[in-house]
Structure 1
Amino acid sequence: MSNPGQPTVQEGDTGDAVKRAQRAVRRTPNLGIVVDGIFGPATKAAIVDFQSGAGVVPDGIVGPLTWAALPDGGPMPVLSEGSTGAVVSSLQTVLTNGADQWGGVTPGGIDGIFGPHTRASVEAFQGWGHVTVDGVVGDQTWSVSLAAASATLETAVGLGYVVS
């Protein structure tokens, strides 16, 4: 199971379990859902839509059967200056390939090291994506929809980096 031990969540609930459910639905992909930890009417509608297509009773409640049917809803890692590794390399690749869209600011190479040039590229991307410009790649930045291919930054970088 990709979402083990998760509590049942439904409209009116808030918190990390709701964020996990929202991230999981975004990965179906339903790019219209916002990962904010608030289970409101839009989240309920997205859950009902997912349940209808997954053969689960479409009640808008994320219980054991829905959790089992959803993809892994774990978070992507939070990346900032000083982060290193394959996920940073993948991020740098996506930022380099799409830099023309967000002002031509590239990370200055693909070396797996999140330094000042990568931060500047992330900030340009965040401005383009209309999210908080802080140079930190967290839930809000991972959820930015890319113009092509019905993808988000997290799907373009690769969901192999999800923190379970």
Structure 2
Amino acid sequence: MSNPGQPTIQQGATGDAVRRLQRALRRTPNLSIVVDGIFGPATRHAVVEFQTDEALTPDGIVGPLTWAKLPDGGAMPVLQQGSHGAVVTSLQTVLTNGANEWGGVGPQGIDGIFGPHTKASVEAFQHWGHVTVDGIVGEQSWDVSLHAAGATLESAVGLDYVVN
């Protein structure tokens, strides 16, 4: 199960379980969902649509059956200077491939090490994506749309790196 141990939630709920739900719904993909931790009318509508598509009772309540059908809603890792590994390699690949679109600033190599050049490339990407420019790849950066068939930075890098 990709969302183990999650509580039953519905409109009016707030907190981490709602953020996990919203990330999962974004991965269906439903890019209209804002990950804000508030189960409001828009989240309820997306839940009902998902439940209908999955032949579940479309009641807007997210219980065990709905959680089981949703993709993993875990957060992506926070990446910043000093981070390293396969997820940084994947990030650098995406940043290299799209550098011309967001100002020509690439990470200057794909080595799996988040150094100053990768930070500069992330900052250019964040500026292009209209999110806080801090050189740290967190929730806001992962959610930036790449304007390519519903892709986000998160989906382009790959959900293999979701933190459970």
Distance in 2 between residues matched to 1:97 and 1:129, nearest whole Å: 15
Deviation at 1:132, TM superposition (A): 1.2
Match of 1:24 in 2: 24
Distance in 1 between residues matched to 2:138 and 2:56, nearest whole Å: 31
Range that drifts further, 105-114 or 128-137: 128-137
Match of 2:106 in 1: 106
Structure 2, gaps ≥5 residues long? none
Match of 1:45 in 2: 45
Distance in 1 between residues matched to 2:140 and 2:14, nearest whole Å: 17
Structure 1, gaps ≥5 residues long? none
| 1:54-92 deviation digits (Å, cap 9, x = unpaired) | 111111111111100101101111101100000000000
Aligned-partner residue type, residue 74 of structure 2: G
Deviation at 1:144, TM superposition (A): 0.9
Runs of 4+ more than 4 Å apart: none
Match of 1:132 in 2: 132
In the comparison of the two structures, how many residue pairs are matched?
164
Deviation at 1:125, TM superposition (A): 0.8
Distance in 2 between residues matched to 1:46 and 1:101, nearest whole Å: 31
Q: TM-score, normalised by structure 2?
A: 0.97
SS at match of 1:24: helix
Identity fraction in percent: 77
Q: In the TM superposition, what are the counterparts of 1:34-113 in structure 2 within 5 Å?
A: 34-113=34-113
Deviation at 1:131, TM superposition (A): 1.2
Match of 2:119 in 1: 119
Deviation at 1:140, TM superposition (A): 1.2
Deviation at 1:149, TM superposition (A): 2.4
CA RMSD, aligned part only?
0.9
| 1:102-155 deviation digits (Å, cap 9, x = unpaired) | 111101110100011111111111111111111111111111111112111111
